[in-house]
Amino acid sequence: MTETRPLRSYGRRKGKPLSARKGRLIEELLPRLRLDFGKPAPGRLQDLFPVPVKEVWLEIGFGSGEHLLWQAERHKDLGFIGCEPFVNGLATLLGAVESQGLTNIRVHDGDAREALPWLPDRSVARGFILFPDPWPKKRQLKRRLISPATIKELARVLAPGAELRFASDSGDYAAQVLLLMRQNGEFDWLAERVSDWRERRADWPETRYERKALSEGRKPVYLSFRRL
């Protein structure tokens, strides 16, 4: 029976031509940081990194890497896995990794749904899905990254007590995520007051996508869940 591949949850893979430096980083640095799905994941996900790390955090769709880099710079005792299919954003992240000498980042340059099944059970201590493509048109809704299947995989790879953070400038998407999380039953929504979903926490830096949404009059929603 032919296996049906899921619809892409992202748009274009490439933007404007890369500079010579970014092209070099894609050719030379990316292969050293890329997850190798040809081999089983290590029993301890921390062993992916060349330096000792206490635990591993995962960001799905890191864009140009502002949030991922902010966290990696401030938590050098942690390991970070970032998934991003957009080549230009990936190259920007690689440039910062090289310039800053960061050794606690690994990447997957494709759909995060390819990486999730590879990750061991209960291996991720925190997850981030910040401003995924909302696919707002009715005929596009099936392309949204967050689905019952994705949440099931996240529940498998996140350790008990792990936090999962989601942000969107689409109120409809945020409402859908809340509903799907409740239906899954493996997560607890951490909101206790209105400010908990209207305001970012101090350790949750702004991204360019958020700035764009705010400049265009769209108010982001910030959701935090804990894996039960």
Write the pLDDT tens digit of every residue in 150-194. 999 999 999 999 999 999 999 999 999 999 999 999 999 999 999
Burial annotation 125-161 (CB, 10 A radius, 16+ → b, else e): bbbbbbbbbbbeeeeeeebbbbbeebbebbbbbbeee
The active-site residue out of 111, 133, 172, 196 is 133
- Please determine, for residue 85, whether its predicted confidence score (pLDDT) is greater than 70: yes
Considering its fold, how many domains does the chain have in total?
1
Whether 172 is a known active-site residue: answer: no
Is position 114 within any domain? yes
- Please determine, for residue 38, whether its predicted confidence score (pLDDT) is greater than 60: yes
Is position 213 within any domain? yes
pLDDT at 167: 97
Is position 184 within any domain? yes
Domain residues for the domain of 145 are 46-227
Report the CATH number that the domain containing residue 153 is assigned in CATH.
Answer: 3.40.50.150
Is position 177 within any domain? yes
Is position 9 within any domain? no
pTM: 0.93
Is position 16 within any domain? no
**Residue 136 pLDDT grade (very low, low, confident, very high; cuts 50, 70, 90):** confident
